[in-house]
């Protein structure tokens, strides 16, 4: 299946080219629906066309390329990841999986192999959920599970998701025309950087994902009373930021003491009408809570909500708590995972199983299809950070493993 080094070089060049398309000068930011997002997506579509894939941009904004089987009744096997990024992102989170998927499909196309399934490569449009705080917009739309209430979600400027879809050329009334029906799924394969340090520490290029942690995302508003910073005595204040700050510390303390794999993060904090001489009256913040066990996850989420309520009661604040997203933990498919493990050992690498703390588009897809995931070592496990890095030798290892995996797939 071609020269692995040459293929890896081309993938790396494309990763760099995509990384140069950004909302921000000198750093990588490509959030859903923005002009750079559209530019990046068009670039991926052009590469798909060059690889001989039959391409389309669907209504939510995913970029898709297909190799059709000669069998008109064939199901579809999807290889995908995402092309949106966090703010000030690294180069690999998402795009690497899409561009390797594209390379694998291109190799298959060139080989002239008989395909027992249609192969579809997808660059999902919104896995990070940075713009609307809710994630998996593209993969949920693909399976017909995008909650219609989400269309009213607003970004930081007040723009609605439905408007952004229209602006990008999509039609909110035609989202269902794009879906791959549950019965048509043969499987789903996602390649992604590990975003953790295990492979780096153990000096192993790739690992297989056994499960993906469940996740809650909530949006909180602490409401107090804005006032004059020079005149209101300390014991008469209703400082919304002090309440939010106490909550931030309580979240860290709670998750650290829990010690059973729970992680909880307040990643966004916004002081409304902030000024150095004004007591903060309203603070908006986010909460992200994750665990691989659904029962523990739900209990912890409830406990954190109670903590926030108690803090507000003590401080005379009111609290708005809005659940934005809840995704349950996912177990990867046993048979596909066994094939991937065999592909790893056949390629000469040790087989390591990892649980993913990060969310992936494989999560929503798992409700309609068997899913399998391959993790690739990244430098010190650093991710969501410009220091994110994957070495060429690990890209080559990933291609060897993926080729072996695809061989078993089409040998059906
Ligand atoms: C995506 O990277 C997530 O896990 O939030
Ligand atoms: Mn990702
Ligand atoms: Mn990410």
pLDDT at 412: 63
Ion ligand 2: residues, CB < 5 A: 93-94
* Ligand 1 atom with the shortest distance to the CA of 290: 4
Instruction: Choose one of 88, 127, 211, 355 to mutate for the ligand 1 pocket test, by most ligand atoms within 8 angstroms of C-beta.
Output: 127
Q: Decide if domain 214-327 falls under CATH 3.30.70.360.
A: yes
**Hey, which bits of 90-205 come out as E strands?**
118-124, 185-193
Q: Phi and psi (nearest 5°) for 160?
A: -80, 150
The Cβ of residue 176 has, within 10 Å, a number of other Cβ atoms equal to 10
Query: Any idea which fold 4-213+330-410 has?
Result: Aminopeptidase (3.40.630)
Crossing angle of the two packed helices 334-346 and 392-410, in degrees rounded to 10: 120
Please name which ligand lies nearest the alpha carbon of 94. 2
Task: Dig out the tokens for 115 from the structure.
Answer: 């395909």
Please give the distance, rounded to the nearest whole angstrom, from the Cα atom of residue 240 to the centre of ligand 1: 28
pLDDT at 330: 96
Residue with tokens 């340090």: 197
Task: Dig out the tokens for 290 from the structure.
Answer: 């994750």
Distance CA 255, CA 257 (A): 6
Query: Is the separation of the CB atoms in 23 and 40 below 8 Å?
Result: no
Enclosing H/E stretch for 252 = helix 240-258
Please name which ligand lies nearest the alpha carbon of 90. 3
Distance CA 395, CA 12 (A): 8
Task: Dig out the tokens for 233 from the structure.
Answer: 């005595």
The answer to whether 4-213+330-410 and 214-327 have equal CATH topology is no
Mean pLDDT by runs of 10 across the 412 residues of the chain is: 90 98 97 98 98 98 97 96 98 98 97 94 96 93 96 95 97 97 97 97 97 96 98 98 98 93 96 98 98 96 98 98 95 97 98 96 97 98 97 98 95 75
User: Residue 86's closest CA among 126, 140, 121?
Assistant: 126
Task: Dig out the tokens for 48 from the structure.
Answer: 């798909």
pLDDT at 1: 57
Ligand 1, atom 5, lies closest to the CA of 359
Within 13 Å, how many C-alpha atoms sit on residue 294's CB side? 7
Task: Dig out the tokens for 252 from the structure.
Answer: 């860290």
Distance CA 15, CA 13 (A): 5
* Ligand 1 atom with the shortest distance to the CA of 357: 4
Q: How deeply is 128 buried, as exposed, middle or buried, from its count of CB atoms within 10 A (0-12, 13-18, 19+)? A: buried
Residues in CB range of 232: below 8 A, 6 or more apart: 279
pLDDT at 133: 84
Query: Is the separation of the CB atoms in 217 and 133 below 8 Å?
Result: yes
Domain boundaries, the chain: 4-213+330-410, 214-327
Task: Dig out the tokens for 16 from the structure.
Answer: 């760099």
Please name which ligand lies nearest the alpha carbon of 214. 1
Query: Is the separation of the CB atoms in 190 and 97 below 8 Å?
Result: yes
Residues with beta carbon inside 6 Å of ligand 1? 128, 358-359
Please give the distance, rounded to the nearest whole angstrom, from the Cα atom of residue 350 to the centre of ligand 2: 24
What are the C-alpha distances in Å from 19 to residues 81, 145, 191?
15, 30, 18
């Amino acid at each position: 299946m071609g020269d692995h080094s040459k293929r890896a070089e081309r993938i790396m060049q494309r990763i760099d080219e995509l990384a140069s398309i950004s909302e921000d000068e000198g750093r990588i930011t490509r959030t859903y629906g923005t002009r750079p997002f559209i530019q990046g997506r068009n670039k991926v579509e052009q590469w798909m066309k060059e690889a001989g894939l039959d391409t389309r941009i669907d209504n939510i904004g995913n970029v898709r390329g297909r190799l059709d089987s000669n069998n008109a009744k064939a199901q579809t096997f999807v290889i995908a990841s995402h092309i949106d990024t966090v703010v000030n992102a690294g180069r690999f989170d998402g795009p690497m999986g899409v561009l390797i998927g594209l390379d694998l499909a291109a190799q298959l196309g060139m080989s002239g192999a008989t395909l027992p399934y249609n192969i579809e490569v997808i660059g999902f449009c919104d896995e990070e959920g940075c713009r609307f705080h809710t994630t998996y917009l593209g993969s949920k739309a693909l399976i017909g599970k995008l909650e219609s209430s989400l269309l009213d979600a607003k970004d930081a400027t007040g723009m609605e998701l439905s408007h952004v879809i229209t602006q990008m050329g999509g039609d909110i009334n035609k989202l269902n025309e794009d879906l791959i029906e549950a019965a048509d799924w043969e499987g789903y394969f996602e390649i992604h950087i590990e975003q953790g340090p295990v492979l780096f520490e153990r000096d192993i290029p790739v690992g297989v994902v056994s499960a993906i942690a469940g996740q809650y995302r909530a949006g909180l508003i602490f409401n107090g009373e804005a006032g004059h910073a020079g005149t209101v005595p300390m014991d008469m204040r209703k400082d919304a930021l002090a309440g939010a700050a106490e909550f931030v510390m309580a979240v860290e303390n709670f998750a650290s003491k829990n010690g059973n794999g729970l992680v909880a993060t307040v990643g966004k904090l916004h002081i409304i009408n902030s000024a150095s001489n004004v007591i903060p009256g309203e603070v908006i913040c986010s909460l992200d809570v994750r665990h691989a066990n659904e029962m523990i996850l739900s209990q912890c989420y409830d406990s954190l909500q109670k903590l926030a309520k108690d803090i507000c009661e003590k401080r005379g604040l009111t609290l708005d708590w809005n659940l934005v997203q809840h995704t349950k933990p996912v177990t990867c498919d046993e048979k596909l995972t066994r094939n991937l493990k065999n592909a790893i050992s056949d390629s000469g690498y040790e087989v390591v199983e990892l649980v993913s703390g990060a969310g992936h588009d494989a999560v929503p897809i798992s409700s309609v299809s068997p899913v399998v995931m391959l993790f690739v070592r990244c430098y010190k496990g650093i991710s969501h950070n410009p220091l994110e890095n994957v070495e060429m030798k690990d890209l080559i290892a990933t291609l060897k493993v993926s080729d072996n995996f695809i061989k078993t797939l089409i040998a059906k």
